[in-house]
Structure 1
Amino acid sequence: MRRAILATCLSLLPALAGAQTLTVATGAPPTSVDPHYYNAAPNFALSMHIFDRLVERDAEVKPYPGLAASWEAIEPTVWEFRLRPGVTWHDGQPFTAEDVAFSIARPPLVPNSPASFSPFVRAIKRTEVIDPLTVRFHTAAPHPLLPVELGSIAIVARHAVEGRGTEDFNAGRAAIGTGPYRITSAVPGDRFELARNPAWFGPAQPWERVTYRVVANDTARVSALLAGDVDVIDQVPSTDLARLRRDSRVSIAEVQGLRLIFIAFDRSRRGNLPQVTDNAGNPLPTNPFDDLRVRRALTIAVNREALVDRVMEGAAAPAGQWMPRGTTTHAPDVPVPAFDPEAARRLLAEAGYPDGFRMTLFTPNDRYPNDARTAQAVAQMWTRIGVRTAVEALPWTSFSVRSSRQEFPLRLAGWGSSTGEAGSFLISVIGTFDRRAQRGAANAARYSNPALDALTDRAATLLKLEDRAAVLQQAIRLATDDVAMVPLFNIANAWATRRGLVHEPRMDERTVAMGTRPAP
Structure 2
Amino acid sequence: MVVSRTALLAGTVLACVAVPAVAQELKIGVASEATSIDPHFHNVGQNNALRRHIFESLVFVDAAQKPYPGLAASWKAVDDTTWEFKLRPGVKFSNGQDFTARDVVYSVCRIPTVENSPSNFTIATKGIESMETPDPLTLVVKTKGPYPLMPLDMGVFGIISAQASGAGADLKFKKGGCEGLGTPPKSADFNDPAKAVGTGPYKLAEYTRGTRLALERNDGYWGAKPHWKTVVFRPITSAGPRVAALVSGDVDMIENPPIQDFDLIKKAGLTIVQGLSNRIIYVHLDQFTGPDWKTPGVKGTDGKNPFLDKRVRQAMSKAINRDAIVDRIMGGVAKPAGELLPVPLFGTSEDRKPEKYDPEGAKKLLAEAGYPNGFELTLGSPNDRYINDEKVAQAVAQMFTRVGIKTGVDSMTASTFFSRRNKYEFSAYLAGWGADTGEMSNSIVALIATQDAAPGFGNTNRGRYSNKTVDELTRKALTTIDDKEREKLLQEASKVGMEDYGIIPLHFEVTPWAFRKTITYTPRVDQYTLAYEVKPGQ
Task: Give yes or no for TM over 0.5.
Answer: yes
2:204 aligned partner, one-letter code:
I
Deviations 1:404-435 (A, max 9, x none): 11111110010012311111111111111122
- SS, match of residue 399 in structure 2: helix
State the partner residue of 2:114: 110
Specify which of 322, 333, 348 is matched with residue 304 of structure 1: 322
- SS, match of residue 177 in structure 1: coil
Structure 1 gaps, min length 5: 1-16
The alpha carbon displacement at 1:30 in A equals: 0.1
1:14-29 counterparts in 2 under 5 A?
19-29=23-33
1:349-364 counterparts in 2 under 5 A?
349-364=367-382
1:155-174 counterparts in 2 under 5 A?
155-162=159-166, 163=183, 164-174=185-195
The alpha carbon displacement at 1:19 in A equals: 4.9
State the partner residue of 1:6: none
Q: Call closer, same or farther: CA 1:478–1:114 in 2, change over 3 Å.
A: same
1:190 aligns with 2:211: yes
State the partner residue of 2:299: 277
Deviations 1:3-29 (A, max 9, x none): xxxxxxxxxxxxxx9951000111011
1:233 aligns with 2:254: yes
Give the Cα separation in 1 of the matches to 2:198 and 2:223: 14
Q: Is the 8 A contact 2:257 2:513 kept in 1?
A: yes
Give the Cα separation in 2 of the matches to 1:444 and 1:337: 22
- SS, match of residue 343 in structure 2: coil
Specify which of 52, 77, 85 is matched with residue 48 of structure 1: 52
Q: Is the 8 A contact 2:450 2:466 kept in 1?
A: yes
State the partner residue of 1:12: none
Give the Cα separation in 2 of the matches to 1:273 and 1:173: 46
Give the Cα separation in 2 of the matches to 1:93 and 1:390: 54
Q: Is the 8 A contact 1:31 1:189 kept in 2?
A: no
Give the Cα separation in 2 of the matches to 1:237 and 1:284: 42
Q: Is the 8 A contact 2:52 2:200 kept in 1?
A: yes
Specify which of 360, 385, 388 is matched with residue 403 of structure 2: 385
Q: Is the 8 A contact 2:193 2:203 kept in 1?
A: no
Specify which of 211, 218, 223 is matched with residue 232 of structure 2: 211
State the partner residue of 2:18: none
Deviations 1:232-251 (A, max 9, x none): 1111212223443x335211
Structure 2 gaps, min length 5: 1-20, 167-182
The alpha carbon displacement at 1:355 in A equals: 0.3
State the partner residue of 2:288: 268
State the partner residue of 1:342: 360
Deviations 1:71-108 (A, max 9, x none): 00111101000000011110101111110111122212
1:83 aligned partner, one-letter code:
L
Deviations 1:201-235 (A, max 9, x none): 22121111010111100111111000000011111
- SS, match of residue 207 in structure 1: coil
- SS, match of residue 277 in structure 1: coil
Q: Is the 8 A contact 2:374 2:405 kept in 1?
A: yes
1:312-331 counterparts in 2 under 5 A?
312-331=330-349
Q: Call closer, same or farther: CA 1:208–1:272 in 2, change over 3 Å.
A: closer
- SS, match of residue 305 in structure 1: helix
Give the Cα separation in 1 of the matches to 2:209 and 2:49: 14
Specify which of 463, 479, 483 is matched with residue 461 of structure 1: 479
TM-score (norm. length: structure 1): 0.94
The alpha carbon displacement at 1:188 in A equals: 2.9
Q: Call closer, same or farther: CA 1:190–1:454 in 2, change over 3 Å.
A: farther
Give the Cα separation in 2 of the matches to 1:204 and 1:108: 33
1:289 aligns with 2:307: yes
- SS, match of residue 474 in structure 2: helix
State the partner residue of 1:411: 429
State the partner residue of 1:9: none
Over the matched positions of the two proteins, sequence identity in percent amounts to: 41
1:251 aligned partner, one-letter code:
T
The alpha carbon displacement at 1:272 in A equals: 4.6
After alignment, is 35-44 or 415-424 more displaced?
415-424
1:195 aligned partner, one-letter code:
E
The alpha carbon displacement at 1:267 in A equals: 2.0
The alpha carbon displacement at 1:512 in A equals: 1.0
CA RMSD of aligned residues (A): 1.4
1:223 aligns with 2:249: no
- SS, match of residue 437 in structure 1: coil
After alignment, is 20-29 or 231-240 more displaced?
231-240
Give the Cα separation in 1 of the matches to 2:402 and 2:102: 59
Give the Cα separation in 1 of the matches to 2:142 and 2:208: 39
Give the Cα separation in 1 of the matches to 2:234 and 2:210: 8
Deviations 1:97-134 (A, max 9, x none): 11011112221221110001101110011111110100
1:59 aligns with 2:63: yes
1:255 aligns with 2:259: no
The alpha carbon displacement at 1:174 in A equals: 2.8
1:398 aligns with 2:411: no
Q: Is the 8 A contact 1:276 1:284 kept in 2?
A: no
The alpha carbon displacement at 1:436 in A equals: 2.4
1:447 aligned partner, one-letter code:
Y
Q: Is the 8 A contact 1:248 1:499 kept in 2?
A: no
- SS, match of residue 496 in structure 2: helix
- SS, match of residue 393 in structure 2: helix
After alignment, is 437-446 or 410-419 more displaced?
437-446
Give the Cα separation in 1 of the matches to 2:263 and 2:424: 39
Give the Cα separation in 2 of the matches to 1:423 and 1:296: 23
Give the Cα separation in 2 of the matches to 1:188 and 1:491: 27
State the partner residue of 2:12: none
State the partner residue of 2:137: 133
Q: Is the 8 A contact 2:127 2:455 kept in 1?
A: no
Aligned length: 499
Q: Is the 8 A contact 1:18 1:205 kept in 2?
A: no
State the partner residue of 2:172: none
Deviations 1:280-337 (A, max 9, x none): xxx6321000000000000011000000000000010011111112223211222111
Give the Cα separation in 1 of the matches to 2:23 and 2:96: 23
State the partner residue of 2:394: 376
